[in-house]
Every structure is written in structure tokens, then in C-alpha cells.
Amino acid sequence: MEAEFKTITDMEKAYYDYEFIKADDDVVTTTTGVYQPVYGRYAWVQLNMESNLFGMLPKAPWRRSGWRVITARTSSTATGGTAEDGTLPDTVKPTWSTVSTKPKTVAHTFAVSEVQQFLATRSDDDATASLDDVRKYMAVEHAWHISKMLGTDVNTLAGNNLESIDRVCSSYSEVSDSSIGLDAGDADIYGIDRDAGASWADAYVDHNSGTDRDLTDTMIRTAINTIRESGGNPTMIVTGYDTYSKIQGLYDTQVRYNPLGQAKVQTGVEGVKTAEGIEAGINVATLYGLPLLVSQHVPKDTISRIYILDTSNPEGFDTPRLFMGVAKPTEYFESGMDSPNKDPFTVGKLATKGMYRTMGELICKFFAAQGKIRDLK
């Protein structure tokens, strides 16, 4: 039985004491662009490969696959005031429910033929795409695909993929408005039927019935305030590059009071947090005191949506309100001709095969503390 990890740091120490694997698409000498006479071994990736959504979320070890939630306060409307020498009030209780989910596995494999590996590493030929080259590229792509999953639109069911922030930040009103175009069940998550009007599982959603409108400061302030009134403690705002530019335009003329600012934050397994103590970290924009973070993976209407997320843990539980539950951290596996075991039989070809694998799931334990603004132009 594997050890139980109390922190993500414990998990990293346990897993990272060593290194990392069917229709195949291997890198061979005839692969376009990898074997050329004069171009040099390195290849510049002409794509945006940022993985901000994955990086900004706090990570915690997978402790359990289910949790209890209190979905309603006590059934009594009485405030508890009791008259002098009066009869004690009737006992009351809240309403409990249970939620559960299982970790998902994200895996990406690749292979480099024995001939290609030789030409790229031990001959005088000008070849690229050695095992080391492809390994480095696939590490970045693996993280990129995880962020892409986290940015999937609410109208796409997760299936074997990770759940998305857009699906966490959904509500019955988003599904029930036919003008938005969602199907019944699109917003269901962790087995919760949002179509049934389970209001306790509703996040804050500011929509315009699918008709895009101009972003205003009032929308942003209303979202933040409503989430706080619902018990949320927003820790960050996330949007796309286009909407970030719109936000800057909103406040360019605000000379006397401009809610846009800057803050130094730290990023790591705990997600994004304000830097404390020694001056370390990176500068990011802030809006109303909240870090304003940008990702290419935020879904767009005309322009990208805005998320107001609560990744805090004011209750002091063993996990935050919104986080990546990590069952097994990203590991790299390798087998074949140029791996330490030099075994072509395990991969069934004269090649070396590698795989990056991450096991976990996006977990939200307080939906009303999360929110989004959509239908923007």
C-alpha cells in the first residue's frame, strides 16, 4: 500500500527520487524537418505553449474521493432568541449531502527510432529530434494539454479529461436559459444534477442570454461583491489576453482612482499567492487588489470570459476550496533501445518510447465562492 501524503511536497519527494511511458506516430529519419543538411539541431516552437491555468491552481495530495457538503442551513427560521425562563427552542439541523469523484489520468507518449537517435546524437549529420529533444518538448506539451483541459467550455463534458474551470463556474441559470445553447446535463459535475435546481451547487454566473455585450466596471465589482456575500474569499481573477486588454482600457482614464495595480506574487505547488517576507516572486497586474492572471485557454464568446476564483482555505481544512487534487504527480517513463534497460521487446520495435503521465482532478468544494462573467465583446 502506498504511503498517505499530507502535503504535495511529501508527494514530490516520494515520486521524484527517480526519472520517467496505440496507433503510433514515431519520430523517424523521414519525419519532415528532423534530418536536414544545414539547419542546426534546435527547433523553435512557433506556438503559444503557456500552461498558466495548471500553474495558477494550488495542488494537494489526493486524500479521499468523496466529501460531505452542507447544502442548507437549519430548517428553522428562528434566530435563537429565548425568553427569560422560556421554553428551550426545538432542536434544528442543517441539510447534508455527499459528493464524489475519481482521479483522471492524463498521458502523452512518444517514440524515437534507433536510427534517428543515432543520427541526432552520435553522427556528424545535422539532425534534430533526439530522444532528449523530444522529451523536453513533450514535457511542455503535457502541461499545455492539462491547461487546455482546465479551460474547456462548459458545453463540453469532461469524459476522461479533467474537469474545467468553466464547468466549475456554472449554474442552473446558465443551463436553463435556452438562448445560451447548453443542453441538459452540460453543467452537471461530480454527479451533481444542476438541472434539478441544486442551488447550493451554483457558482456565480453573469450572462446576457448568449448575447455579447461590452464589459463594464460594474460587472466586475458586482461579481466580486456577490461572491463575497455568498461566503467566498476571491483570491484571483483569470481571463484571456483580449479581455485583459479591455480591462486595461476601462481604467486608462481613471486618474484619481485606478483599481488596476501591481503586486508581487509567488507561484508553485500552492498555486498563486501574495509574496511575503523576502522580496521574491514575479510582478503581475492586480484589479481591486486581486491578482489579474492571463491564459490563452480561457473560453471566448466574442472575447474571453472572466473568472473570479477562490482558492483560499479559511476553514483550515486539509484542502482549499478550489484546487488540483493530485493522485500521482507528473512522472516520466521510458523503455526501449536507448533507455537504461535497452529492451526493444517491451515496445515491440527498434525505438525508444517515452510517456508523461499525471493523475488527478480539478476539485471544487465551495461552488458559490467561484464565479464568471461571460457573453462579452
- For the ranges 46-50, 54-58, 92-96, 373-377, the lowest mean pLDDT is seen at 46-50
Is 286 a residue whose pLDDT tops 50?
yes
CA–CA separation, 326 and 218 (whole Å): 37
Between β-strands 260-268 and 271-274, what pairing exists: parallel, antiparallel or unpaired?
A: antiparallel
pLDDT score at 20 = 44
How sure is the predictor about 203, in pLDDT bands with cuts at 50, 70 and 90? very high
What lies within 8 Å, CB to CB, of 347 at 6+ separation is 21, 111, 335, 336, 353
pLDDT score at 40 = 58
Mean pLDDT of the residues in the chain: 85
H helices of the chain, in order, are 8-15, 52-56, 114-121, 131-150, 165-168, 172-176, 217-229, 241-251
- For the ranges 9-23, 219-233, 297-311, the lowest mean pLDDT is seen at 9-23
The total domain count for the chain is 1
The per-residue pLDDT for range 240-258, each reduced to its tens digit, is 999 999 999 998 776 556 6
163 to each of 166, 169, 202, how far by Cα in Å?
9, 11, 16
CA–CA separation, 141 and 49 (whole Å): 7
pLDDT score at 256 = 56
- Three cell numbers written together for 359: 493523475
Is 35 a residue whose pLDDT tops 60?
no
- For the ranges 90-99, 159-168, 204-213, 293-302, the lowest mean pLDDT is seen at 90-99
User: Does residue 80 fall inside a structural domain?
Assistant: no
User: Does residue 76 fall inside a structural domain?
Assistant: no
Contact 371, 223 (CB under 8 A): yes
SS (H, E, C) 18-45: CCCCCCCCCECCCCCCCECCCCCCCCCC
pLDDT score at 62 = 94
How sure is the predictor about 21, in pLDDT bands with cuts at 50, 70 and 90? very low
Amino acid code (one letter) for 319? T
How sure is the predictor about 33, in pLDDT bands with cuts at 50, 70 and 90? low
Contact 258, 311 (CB under 8 A): no
What lies within 8 Å, CB to CB, of 76 at 6+ separation is 89, 90, 92
Contact 198, 176 (CB under 8 A): no
CA–CA separation, 287 and 223 (whole Å): 13
Q: Name the residue range of residue 273's domain.
A: 8-63+97-373
Contact 145, 106 (CB under 8 A): yes
CA–CA separation, 334 and 172 (whole Å): 45
User: Does residue 121 fall inside a structural domain?
Assistant: yes
User: Does residue 347 fall inside a structural domain?
Assistant: yes
Q: Hunting for cell 506574487 — which residue is that?
A: 265
Is 281 a residue whose pLDDT tops 60?
no
Among 192, 64, 193, 1, which residue's Cα sits nearest to residue 184?
Answer: 193
The mean per-residue pLDDT over the stretch 305-312 comes to 97
Q: Hunting for cell 483560499 — which residue is that?
A: 312
pTM, 2 dp = 0.83
pLDDT score at 266 = 61
